[in-house]
Structure 1
Amino acid sequence: MNTYTPLNELVISEKNVRVVSASKEADKELIASIASQGILQNLVVIPSAKGKKEVVAGGRRLASLHYLASKGEIDQDCPVPCLEKSEDADLTEISLAENIHAAMHPADQFVAYSRLVEEGLSVEDIASRFGVAKTLVAKRLVLGKAAPKLLDRYRRDIFSLECLMAFTVCDDHKRQLACYKELSQGSLWPHSIKSWLLGEAYVLSKGIGKFVGKAVYLKAGGALSSDLFEDETYFSDSALVEELAKQRLQREAGKLRKNDCWSWIEINDDSNKFETDSVRLQPVLMGVPKKLDDQITALEQETAELHDKCCEADWPEDLDTQYDALVEKQEALERERDNQYLTFSDEQKAYSGCIVGFDRDGKLTLTQGVARKKDIPQPNSKNNDGKGDSGDGQELAQETQGTTISQALRTDLGRYRQQAVKAALLADPAAATDILHYSLCQQILSGAYRRLGDLMDASFNRVSSESSREETDSPTASNALQAAESKLDTQWLAIEDDGERFTAFRALPQKMKDKLVTYCVAQSLQIGVRAANTTQDTLVDMLSVDFTCYWQPTKDNYLSRLSKPLLLATFSPLRHKDWAAMHGDMKKSAVVESMHEWFTSTPKSDNDNAVTWMPPEF
């Protein structure tokens, strides 16, 4: 029923869902509008036991009217247009509908949605009435159930919405408040809140959680926690998860013991981690049919001859196409051969073992052919005729015993020998390449710079990529390097004799030597920011590195480390035209959260700025 009620008979109702005003600027605009044009929309009221009318929708308009009356611009009892409702009407819904389009504080919306559920509405009903997705309603309901003290602090901008979201992984108000009390002194971040509330919980979607599986965990009596905003589920009982993972690994290891003849089989929670005194053996070809072997050999010869022709003719298009087809045919036959006949020999299995584990995606992994250096058979030392030491060697030692030359002469003889070997090496590029590669690989893979037995004066070292915050800058890149290292043949490193070690390295297949060298060069690269070193920039451009595959700006690794003016200046051209104006008066943390959400949300396409943007330093 439409009525006019004197202003001094109107009071705000406790059922009005708005607690926080939209903003001071919005209130000023509303006061100016009412002063010039009057009330354009009725206030919604209900009868009050005290004889007044309670305003359940229109609280901002009522406050504006009281302000104008205090300034003498309108009468204290001026008539106000009202729509009167009965006390049993859907007052929360009316108030929410009235306010939701007026920049209502999110916390007030969360609480209002919770009230609607308490009044009997379902999630589907609320979504239908307000034209929003059910998932959005569900998320707002979860936020509305957070501890009231936390909601109040969020209203006062003490912490961000992301922090409030993090608190909802636990629905125990006492635990939420205890977490806030402990972390509010300096480490109140979403990830630290989750870590505190979840403890040592494991996530379901990857690693050990996915390896164990939800069904097995629940059957064993495990409890779950959830993060609706990350669409993530957590296994709360970490000890139970670890025990279930161990049981499954032991079952898989038992199957291997029945069917394989490895010297040992162990379980590990990360099959990419090897003991420091172990190396990875490479399987060998066994039982390859002569016909298949002859086909591959013939193709290798044909490919090599065609390669020479292409080089002489400067790679004409017809020969280039023919060469590519030959290479593809050869590689297809090699894959067929390797898939069927590449395996570990009984001799290798006699001194090596297998590690049963799982990867970061929760998939079972079998790392075969892992040998401890102490278990690897050492080759027998032989002289040139293939026999052991003869009596002639002993006689020669006896003849020279007691005779010496000066150290200066000894040094000079070594220099003469060195000069001669240098000259001779000029005619053997393959040996020179192997010397360089051997020195590089030995130093990088051994983890120490060996002087004893070195062939050349060179020092190679792994170059660390750890950031100043001791974080792994790119898990994707780190995973790729770990996977590459696990596939390297490093058995030759375990040979104690320097000469035999070099001989074993030279005997490796060329493809394996290429992999070893590529990995070691990659680990020794020194790359800085763009424009600091022209050679480095040239290499990056030649490689056409797609940095978006390995790194993304987040609030921890980049955004929070920029000043607010720099944030606004950097990202204004990428965001919508009003973004900078909207965030100009906000705290830096709000600007950081806005950009973090933009970078981590689902992109519209592969060409979305949120996907392709990189700092100019890249």
Structure 2
Amino acid sequence: MTAAFDTTRTTEAAVPEHGTVAFIPLNRLKKSPRNARKTPHSAADIEALAASTREKGLLQPPVVEPELGPDGQPTGDYLVTIGEGRRLSQLLRAKRKEIKKTEPIRCVVDTAHDAFEISLDENVTRFAMHPADQFEAFRDLADSKGWSAEEIAARFGVSPSLVRRRMRLGAVSPTLMAAYRAEDLTLDQLMAFAVSEDHARQEQVYADLSYNRSPVFIRRMMTEHEVEASDRRARYVGVEAYEAAGGRVRRDLFSEDGQGWFEDAALLDRLALDKLAAEAEAVRIAEGWLWAEGRLDYPYDHGCRRVYPRVVEPDAGTQARLDALAKEYDAIVASCGEDEVLTEAQDDRLTVLDAELAAARPERYDPEAVARGGLFVILAQEGVRIERGFVRPEDEAEPETDPDAAADAEGAGDAATEADAPEDQSDRTETRKTLSERLVADLTAHRTAALRDALAEQPQVALLAALHALTVQTFYRGAETCLDLRVS
């Protein structure tokens, strides 16, 4: 029957016929004991249904049956056979004063079928839309109606971050979306492609994939020209300073920490170098060095002579304290046998003693070395590291010699150098000077590839290298390894 039956204007004995559409007060609807769904609805599900019905009403009316009393007569209440979640969502709206507790709810009366069977059928015989259709639908709502993620989230009872993720997935290249529908791509792989909205780049990386199709590898390929937010340079400069300088950070919507990538690597390097240079200058002024430089990496080709500090002899009071600390240290070590393990308290105390012993033995550079030398402030994995005591060749002290003897020695030295030097040494030096940065980078890449091939042919060495990389990262904070291998 299509005619509506208003139970608010009937007596308790009047029961609608099977198939009648009835408007039943919300407070007269009850949960059916014959409902096949025993696991309660989650709070998120109820919230989503409440948001949907608030905006669009009940699109699917609940299916109910009259409640019968002990005497077999109708009580005037109705048991919800299908649509318990919809009933709970309306109760939530009533609790929030959006509707009345007596709000008429459009229901369909069913007295002909078994309540348990139709409840089970309604929960089993249902087909969710393909996730790709959902992603594109959210994107279409934003494009066609101009709704923000917050507006869409409010209308469907989900979080704005979930809407943004689905919209980002809906913006993936149609080629990749078709592959996802055809099950040639998994959802994790599709999310890896979605870190960038550049369709051409997505399709290029997809075409270049071979046996390695892991999401981690895809994400790395998509961002190979950008700097990850966990990179030492990004952590040192900071997002605020980078964005204030005009840089853009592309967020990863699919990671738990919400990190992303710094798109302008050159700008990031410049900001890091400027900050390092400022720190280097502050140390130079404070300690009196002749020069100071900030470097991203240790300059192995610095060409400087290295001088080291000398340990200052302690006075009597300091020496007595050192002896006491060393005695306590030895006592803790001696208290443990060869096969015993230090307790946590003992290990912590030894760490403190190590630090105190090192601090009690101050080291100083000679004033002459400080006046002629300099330092490098280097950005390491663990943070800023200062390397002191470098004397450049032009800052070396000139020996006091007789001018005539020095001239004779210089001439003899030049003649010996010309006679003893290999014929191609000057050629090699000149060639090295004329190599372009691009060629050096290309040759380095070839050397790296050759080393990888050689390592791949020696599984035992490869295993030891991998074990070493994992060990130093796990137990030695800030240690570096030649392998691009990270503990996650």
TM-score by length of structure 2 reads 0.48
